[in-house]
Amino acid sequence: MDERYLQRFVDVVESGSLSRTSRRMNISQPALSKSLRLLEGQLGIKLLERSPRGVRVTRFGNAFYRRARSITAEFRRAREDLEDLKGSTAGQVALGVTPGPGVLDRILPEAIARVANDRPSLRFKIHSGTSTELLVALNQGDLDILFTVVRYGG
């Protein structure tokens, strides 16, 4: 199974549109459609229902999507691990952040600055949301680190 096909499938599901995915991934729409058909052929199931108004995920596609997201996140992590072993200071870290006192304006910028000092080519992708949303993203492999404020009763 080709990693690119999985990434394209995940993007189509998330965008809900072949044209948006083809623009975002810089691939022609016929090439995108072909890769999706090949993926469906490899799996022996229909993942997407295509219509003039866009695409709809089938129940098989929905089940496969959850796994494909995790697989593509693991591919990304594997590439980053190999780059680390080669001594690269590049890569990307996906951070989840819940709003809280001092997190976005003080703690996060200081943490990023410290890491960026040692690894100036490292890119940071920051996602903001509720702790519930971000915990799901962390468990799915979409986030590497979660910054949140924990309040203890009292």
Task: Provide the residue ranges of all domains of the chain, joining segments of one domain with +.
Answer: 3-67, 89-147
Q: Report residue 47 as tokens.
A: 């993942």
Q: How far apart are CA 53 and CA 99, in angstroms?
A: 37
What value, to the nearest 5°, has the Cα angle with vertex 127 and ends 124 and 131? 130
Give 61: exposed, middle or buried? Use CB within 10 Å, 0-12, 13-18, 19+.
buried
pLDDT of residue 152: 66
Kindly report the pTM of this predicted structure.
0.62
**Radius of gyration in angstroms for the set of CA atoms belonging to the chain, rounded to a whole number:** 19
| 102 vs 62, more confident | 62
Is a pLDDT exceeding 70 seen at residue 101? yes
Domain 89-147 has CATH 3.40.190.10: yes
For residue 88, pLDDT over 60 is answered with yes
Q: Write down the architecture of domain 3-67 according to CATH.
A: Orthogonal Bundle (1.10)
Return the percentage of the chain with pLDDT > 70, whole number. Answer: 96
pLDDT for 81 equals: 78
State the pLDDT at residue 153. 65
pLDDT value at residue 154:
56
Average pLDDT on 3-18 reads: 91
